[in-house]
Amino acid sequence: MSSPPPVAAPQFSGNRVDALTEAFAELVRYDNTNTNQILVLDGTLCAARLAGAVTRAARAFPLLHAGYPPDPGAAHDVDAGSVALRVHRWNGRCDFGDAGFRALLMRLNELNRLDWKRRAPFQLYLVLGRDASTSCVYLSSAHAVADAHSDCLLLERIMDEYVCANANANANANANANANANANAHAHAHAHAHAHAHAHAHAHAHADADVPAAPPAIHDFEPLHRIRPEWYSPRARAIRLARAALNIAGDLLRRNRNFTSRRAALTGAPMPQIDFYHSVVDSELETTAKRIAKHMGVTLNTLLTTALVRLTERGGTGLGFTRVTCAISLRLTLDPRYSDTFRNYLVPAGLRIRTGLPDRVLLAHVHGAVQRAREQAALQLELGRLEWLVLLLKIPVLYPLTRAIVRRAQGTNACVSNPGLIRADMRKLDACVEGPARARAPSSYVGFGCLVEPYDFILYTPTVNGRLQFDAVFRRSAFDDFSTQFMGPYCAELRRLLDSLDGAEPAVLPGSAREARGVERRG
């Protein structure tokens, strides 16, 4: 099966882009907006095969072909030169626990800020460990073009194309081997000369055939102007901007309690400004958390967010309400049919929770705050805030003021994002790795977005290959030891919260969380 042909660029109404896209497209001149999907494999991959896989995979995502701003009706193909696979060597094992290896990946991230306005909005790297014992596939995308789920769709398609190409290569090798064996066995037998020629022709036919492709699904997308045209009438937009302006003004006057982290100037050898953390949650803790969440009538994500709110309240600084940003996806909130479309659907929703609440009441308040953040009025409010941000970002001379306003208006340095259940099998490349025959460890996966002002960290809680993970991206200037200063206290707070809620009356009436759970399943 051949790959899908280059597709026509998406049709935009009036060549417009919405603020979910435009905010990150403008922010790239001031900050790094790269998103990250990283796989570590026990073994190596073929660079040439992987380069072909990414080229074929990109054809299934129209937005990657559109350019910025998209040109309605024009057909484009991804510039193969700008998206060529980049291969790097690492003098050690590719291992998420190795600070030097993580620093290599984050240097690649910082040195190649993806700017959709000027070139293709994604890049693939293959990092080969010492002695070809391990390797790493690193997909980086501009946040303007993709959110976490969209990145997973692209990575999964690349993996599918590689698996198909690998199977094709193995079939060709077997056909050639069989043809050569037949030739040697009957080298002096004139009666078998015709069969020998036929075997070679069959092998060459296999070699010349098109590389089989993954199922030819096209992951299309639509701008918000088409999804919610009523949001973009002159009256609706004017009301939204007015409400957002008043909301921002109110935030500038509020005082919030933040997670304690102190940024300090980095000293010593040059290192990337950001780092990341990866862990697979202990199975006992995961099972207990799921059981308690179900009993309390909330989603697992609500329970995990509540632990972060409580940790921020206990050890935070400042007065007033505890504030945490929660990334909300419009993907299924708008309509389930956008489940596998490709674009950025995330909006940053601020959760303000009263301090001093008992654990069960706190859980109910967090549940209610997340529910309200998904309502149409709240989503339009956050969209209006982003539209004001776009206007300010377009005036570079105002950026110091813009940055100060953003820090005060967001009111927190802590963010939590729940990618939910990642349906893709992140271990499907394990069967394709090359290297000496031996028992191999399964591949590891981590995914995280861009860390922009005012955040010092973003906590991610995906379920990957059936296991809950606690992953994070953080500023090195804010944490000397992220595991000790954040993850340890967070896990301890989560365990304390679970103990407190075990056996308590449900915080939310049965059934009231069903809709939220369905939306959250793939946020």
Token reading at 326: 């929660």
**Tens digit of each residue's pLDDT, the chain (523 residues):** 444 444 444 443 344 789 999 999 999 999 999 999 999 999 999 999 999 999 999 989 988 888 887 654 455 555 544 567 999 999 999 999 999 999 999 999 999 999 999 888 999 999 999 888 899 999 999 999 999 999 999 999 999 999 999 888 766 655 554 445 454 555 444 444 444 444 443 433 333 344 455 556 788 888 899 899 999 999 999 999 999 999 999 999 988 888 877 776 666 656 789 999 999 999 999 999 999 999 999 999 999 999 999 999 987 766 778 999 999 999 888 888 888 899 999 999 999 999 999 999 999 999 999 999 999 999 999 999 999 999 999 999 999 999 999 999 999 999 999 998 999 999 999 989 887 767 788 899 999 999 999 999 999 999 999 999 999 999 999 999 999 999 999 999 999 999 999 988 887 755 444 433 433 333 3
228-254+275-423+447-520 shares the fold of 1-222:
yes
Q: pLDDT by residue (tens digit) across 322-353?
A: 999 999 999 888 888 888 899 999 999 999 99
CA nearest neighbour of 426 among 398, 464, 456: 464
The partner residues of 494 in beta bridges, in order of sequence, read: none
The partner residues of 139 in beta bridges, in order of sequence, read: 37, 124
444 vs 95: CA distance, rounded Å: 9
Q: Phi, psi at residue 515, to the nearest 5°? A: -65, -45
Q: Phi, psi at residue 501, to the nearest 5°? A: -85, -15
478 vs 277: CA distance, rounded Å: 14
Whether 345 contacts 329, CB under 8 Å: yes
461 vs 480: CA distance, rounded Å: 22
Q: Which CATH architecture best describes the domain 1-222?
A: 2-Layer Sandwich (3.30)
Amino acid 167: pLDDT: 87
**Is this model's pTM higher than 0.85 or not?**
yes
The topology under which CATH files domain 228-254+275-423+447-520 is: Chloramphenicol Acetyltransferase (3.30.559)
Residue 317 makes CB contacts below 8 A (sequence gap 6+) with 257, 258, 260
Tell me the three-class secondary structure of 116-145, residue by residue: CCCCCCEEEEEEECHHHCCEEEEEEEECCC
Largest CA distance in the chain: 94
Q: What is the DSSP letter of 360?
A: H
Is the peptide bond prior to 69 cis by the omega test (within 30 degrees of 0)?
A: yes
**Which DSSP string corresponds to 61-111?**
-GGGGSTTTT-TT-B----TTTTPPEEEE-SS---TT-HHHHHHHHHHHHH
CA nearest neighbour of 136 among 34, 32, 48, 50: 50
Q: Phi, psi at residue 447, to the nearest 5°? A: -135, 135
Domain ranges of the chain: 1-222, 228-254+275-423+447-520
Residue 501 makes CB contacts below 8 A (sequence gap 6+) with 292, 295, 296, 359, 360, 363, 507
The partner residues of 122 in beta bridges, in order of sequence, read: 141
Amino acid 435: pLDDT: 77
- Alpha helices of 186-335 — where are they, by DSSP H? 193-208, 224-227, 234-253, 283-296, 300-315, 331-334
Number of Cβ within 10 Å of residue 431's Cβ equals 11
